[in-house]
Structure 1
Amino acid sequence: MTDKAFFPQVLPPWVRSLAAGVPEAPAGEAPLPAPPLGTVFALSAHLGWAVPPRPFELLFGRDEDNVNIPLGVKDHRISRCHGRLICHGSEWTMRNEGRLPMLFPGDTMLLSGQERLVEDAYTPVYIGNPREEVHFLEVRVIGGKRPDGEATPEDETTVPVVHKLSRTERLVIASLAQRYLRGLSYPQPVSWKLVAEDMQKLPDLKDRGWNERTAARVVAAVRERLSAPGYKHRVYGLRRSEVFGEPLGNALNDNLIRALLQSTTLTPDDIKPFDDAEHAKVGQSST
C-alpha cells in the first residue's frame, strides 16, 4: 500500500482509545488501512480523525458544526475553536487558540497563542478547569525511522512496553493516580485513606477489608516487581536507594505513576470504574 492509499478520514465509532496503538477492528468491522509514517490520529469523547502527512489542519473545540473534532461542546469555558493540529511536511504541531491552557504529560502547559511539536507515539492532552470539568483529547503520531529505506508503509507501529498488572493492582494504582489521570495541575498521589475508600465502592472488591495498609501493600508489591534487577523492562526510581528527598514514599509512588502513564500501562479509562460506582451510588440515593 502506498501513502496515497491512506486519505484523511473520520475514525469509525468503534475506536474508543488510542493509548495502545493503532486500534484493531472488532469482529465484523472493517479494519483501518495501514497508516504511513507521520499519520496523526486524534480522538475526543465525541469523534476522531486520522490524517496522513500532508498540508492539513485538524480543528477541535466547542463549535461542533465548524470543527473537525468536537470537544467540550456543552462547556462554555472551551473556545469554539480551542486549538488545531497542523501538519508541517512530516511533522505535526498543536496550537492553542483558546483561553484555557492545555496540559501535556509531565505537567507542561501550552498556553493561549502557543504552539508546540507533537511527539511521535501517544500524547494525552487535557483541557478545562480541574475543579469543575476536564476534557480529554488523545493524539497519536505514527513515527519511527526507516533503516536505509528498507521499511514499507505497511510496517506495524512500535508501541511502548506495557507492564502487566492484575485487575486489583490496576484499580488500586488508578485510584492512587486519579489526580494525574484527571489532568489536574501539579498532581500528587492521593492519600491511602482515599484509595481504600475508593476500593470499598467497587461491588466485587469491597468485601476484601480495604484499609490504608492493604492499599499501600498492593502498590509496594508492584514497585518491587517493576524495579527488580531481573525484570526485563526494569523501572528505576521505585526503590529507596534510588530516590533522595522527603516525603520519600510520595516520591516513589510519583515515579511509579509517571512510569505507568508514560508506558500507557495506565490510561484515563482506568478511573471509569470508580466514576461508575459513584454515579450508581448517587442514582440509588435519589430513588
Structure 2
Amino acid sequence: MHTDRGSLAFGVPAAAPGTLHTLSISGSISAGPVEGRRIVFGRNWDEVDLCIGGHDQGVSRTQGTVSCRAGRWWLTNSGRRPLRMPGSRMLFTDEEPIPLAAGYLPLFVRGSGSQEHLLELYVSDGESDRTTRGPAAPTTPPRTYRLSATERLALVVLAQRYLLQEPYPQPISRDQAAEQLHMLQPDGEWTERKVERLARHVRDRLSAAGTPGLMREEVGEPVGNMLNHNLIRELIDSTTLVPPDLRLIDIIDE
C-alpha cells in the first residue's frame, strides 16, 4: 500500500487556456490546443502515448484517445470496456466523442477481476496565469483537512465507491470496512466500533471547524448513512481525498 498523492486534482502549473494535462501511473503528458493533436492511451506500451493497465489484459491495447479539434479537446473510447466518469457518465466503444470542459476529470477503466485503472485529465482555463484581483483573479484552492495515516486509510475504504465514480454511491458498511481494513492491516485490531469511532472523530473535528451536516442534530432522524455521506462529500470536494488515494487499498494499479 503506497501513494505519493500525486494528482491533477490538486491543480496544474500555469498554462495557456486549453492546455491538456494527463496523468497515469506510467507517466504524464501536457499538450497545447493544437489542431489535430492526439494523445492515445491504453495497455500496449509500444502503440500508445500514455499507458494504463499495462499488465492487465482486461484493458484494451488502445483504449481511447483525446484529440484537439476546433480549439477543444474531445474524448473517444476505442476500447472494449467503457470509460467511467463522474456523475454516473459512461462513454462506450464507438460512441460519439465528448468535449472536455475546463478543469479536472478522472477516468476509470475496469480491468480484470476487480482491478480499476485511473487516467486523470485536466484542461487549463488560463486563469492561473492571472495576477489581478476581481473576476479574472486566480481561483482560491479549496481548504483541505489534515488526516492521520490511519484516518486516511479508513476513510478511503469507506469512500471507495465515491472515489471510483460509481453511480449513486453510499459509504460501505462498517462491517465491510472493518473486514477490508483487517486484510490491509492484520495487526490493526479493526472492528466495526473502531471504524465508526474514527469516522466520528473526524466528523467532530470538521464540524468544529465550521463544516455543516456532520452532526446528528443537523440532519434529523433517521440518520442512516447521511453523516458519513456528508463527511465523504466534504473530503472529496475539498480534495482531501482524491482518486489516486485508492492505491492505498490496492483498488487501482500501482
For Structure 1 versus Structure 2, the TM-score category normalised by the shorter chain is 0.7 to 0.9
Which gives a bigger RCO, structure 1 or 2 (Cα 8 Å, sep 6+)?
2
Q: How far does residue 219 in structure 1 lie from its aligned partner after superposition? A: 1.1
CA distance in 2, matches of 1:214, 1:15: 25
Q: CA contact under 8 A between 1:77 and 1:128: conserved in structure 2?
A: yes
Task: Measure, in 2, the Cα distance between the counterparts of 1:240 and 1:42.
Answer: 41
Partner AA of 2:67 in structure 1: I
Q: Which residue of 2 aligns with 1:47?
A: 27
TM-fit CA distance, 1:126:
0.3
Aligned-pair RMSD on alpha carbons?
Answer: 3.6
Question: Equivalents in 2 of 1:268, 1:78: separation in Å?
Answer: 19
The AA in structure 2 aligned to 1:52 is G
Question: What is aligned with 1:22?
Answer: 12
Shift of 1:181: 3.5
- Tell whether 2:66 aligns with 1:76: no
Name the SS of the counterpart of 2:10 in structure 1: coil
Letter in 2 for 1:59: V
Q: CA deviation at 1:102?
A: 1.1
Matched with 2:103 is: 121
Q: Which has the higher Rg, Structure 1 or Structure 2? A: 1
Counterparts of 1:57 and 1:191 in 2: how far apart (Å)?
42
Cα deviation, 1:55-90, whole Å, max 9, x if unaligned, reads 222111123222211222333332332211123455
Segments of structure 1 that go 5 or more residues without pairing to the other structure are 1-13, 24-33, 277-287
DSSP 3-state at the match of 1:249:
coil
- Do the aligned partners of 1:85 and 1:95 also contact (CA within 8 Å) in 2? yes
Aligned residues: 243
Please, which moves more after superposition, 262-271 or 39-48? Answer: 262-271
1:222 corresponds to 2:202:
yes
Output the CA distance in 1 between the equivalents of 2:201 and 2:154: 12
Tell me the residue number matched to 1:142.
124
Aligned partner of 1:190 in structure 2 is: 172
Whether the aligned pair in 1 keeps the contact of 2:53 and 2:111 (CA below 8 Å) is no
**Alignment check: 8 A CA contact 2:87 2:165 kept:** no
Match of 1:37 in 2: 17
- Deviations 1:136-168 (Å, cap 9, x if unpaired)? 1011222254899969xxx97754432222322
**TM-score by structure 2 length?**
0.76
Matched position secondary structure for 1:106:
helix
Uncovered stretches (5+) of structure 2, i.e. residues with no partner: none
